[in-house]
Amino acid sequence: MTCDQIPKLASSYIGRDLSAVIRLKFAFHLVQCKSCRAYMRGFLKARDLAVQSLQMPAPDALMQALGLHEDDQKVRG
């Protein structure tokens, strides 16, 4: 396997969605290739950043509309 095949297979690899033979070739390439290990680390890092970026606080106006704004609760409490 060569580096140019790694991006094409990366998503299936992390999803355990490759045949046993291709998976082994992929894993063997990673052991030997520093650049592709960096590619795969970045692949997983991109996923973590996607999660973190979409988990930022919801707008106050929405919390108010749902009756969940912290200030509302202090008034009621």
Partner 1 sequence: MLGRWTKAAPFTEPDLGLLQRRDPTALRRMVNRHHGSMVGLARSILRNAAAADDVVQEAWIAVIAGLPSFEGRAKLSTWMMAILVNKARAHARREGRYVPLLDADDPYDEVEGPERFDHTGHWRVAPDDLETLTPERILAGREVWKQVRDQIDRLPAAQRAVLILRDVEGADAAETADILDLSAENQRVLLHRARIRLRRALDDLSHRG
Report the distance separating Cα 77 and Cα 75, nearest Å: 6
User: Going residue by residue from 8 to 47, which x/- string records binding to partner 1, judged by CB under 8 A?
Assistant: x-xxxxxxxx-----x---x--xx--xxxxxxxxxxxxxx
Q: Is 33 in the site for Zn ion (CB under 5 A)?
A: yes
2 Cβ contact list (under 8 Å, min separation 6):
29
Question: What is the number of alpha carbons within 13 Å of residue 1 lying toward its C-beta?
Answer: 21
Q: At what angle are helices 6-14 and 20-32 packed, to 10 degrees?
A: 120
Of 19 and 70, which CB lies nearer to partner 1 in the complex structure?
Answer: 70
Q: Is 64 in the site for partner 1 (CB under 8 A)?
A: no
**Residue ranges binding partner 1 (CB under 8 A):** 2-5, 7-8, 10-17, 23, 27, 30-31, 34-58, 62-63, 65-66, 68, 70, 73
